[in-house]
């Protein structure tokens, strides 16, 4: 997958291993929360209700278990994480990867930050088109992304072999060069 004026950004296996390791720590903490009985919950004083503690534990177990699984899938993925070319952005950076996003679909880039994690938001002309792609869980997560940051397409550098600023600058240069023809 190489052509004229193409930038290929590989997935960072070491960053992804860190994500999986972090997910495993939270899975372990979630299991600890789920196995606590009412006396242990009261003794710890974190939450006064065992049902709430178990609910938080189960939610964490499901969420972080899925994050760890998605990270494992990306570790074994041989395709590049991101390809920028004349055609557009080919996103394969995460579980919610958008695939090919033609420059003509892109209306701009913005930054969304939550808990110190920055995500490059790719604002698209027809968000529903990108929300409708993929399985039911992926569509639901893309809809949440759209509500939170204004677009179903977000690309974080935490799975790529480059930093966030470089991701934003490089993508911005391509958008300037090939975008704006709408």
Q: Read off the pLDDT band of 182 (50, 70, 90).
A: very low
Quick check: pTM over 0.85?
Answer: no
Residue 2 lies in a domain: no
Q: What is the pLDDT of residues 69-84, one digit of tens each?
A: 988 988 998 999 999 9
Same domain as 143, residue 61: no
Mean pLDDT throughout 90-95? 92
Determine the Cα–Cα distance for residues 92 and 119; give it in Å rounded to an integer: 15
Same domain as 69, residue 109: no
The answer to whether residues 85 and 5 touch, using CB atoms and an 8 Å cutoff, is yes
Same domain as 89, residue 173: yes
Domain count, the chain: 2
Same domain as 51, residue 134: no
Q: What is the pLDDT of residues 108-155, one digit of tens each?
A: 999 999 888 899 999 999 999 999 988 998 999 999 999 999 999 999
Same domain as 96, residue 52: no
Residue 51 lies in a domain: yes
Domain that holds residue 141: 82-178
Determine the Cα–Cα distance for residues 47 and 13; give it in Å rounded to an integer: 37
């Amino acid at each position: 997958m190489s052509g004229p004026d193409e930038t290929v950004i590989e997935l960072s296996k070491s960053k992804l291993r860190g994500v999986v390791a972090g997910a495993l720590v939270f899975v372990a903490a979630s299991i600890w929360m789920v196995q606590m009985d009412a006396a242990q919950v009261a003794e710890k004083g974190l939450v006064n209700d065992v049902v709430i503690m178990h609910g938080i534990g189960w939610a964490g177990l499901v969420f972080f278990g899925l994050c760890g699984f998605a990270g494992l899938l990306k570790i074994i993925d041989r395709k590049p994480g991101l390809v920028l070319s004349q055609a557009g952005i080919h996103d394969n950076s995460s579980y919610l990867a958008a695939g090919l996003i033609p420059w003509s679909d892109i209306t701009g880039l913005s930054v969304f930050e939550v808990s110190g994690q920055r995500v490059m938001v790719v604002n698209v002309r027809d968000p529903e088109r990108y929300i409708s792609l993929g399985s039911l869980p992926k569509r639901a997560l893309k809809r949440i992304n759209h509500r939170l940051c204004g677009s179903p397409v977000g690309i974080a550098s935490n799975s790529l072999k480059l930093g966030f600023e470089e991701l934003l600058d490089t993508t911005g240069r391509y958008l300037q060069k090939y975008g704006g023809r709408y």
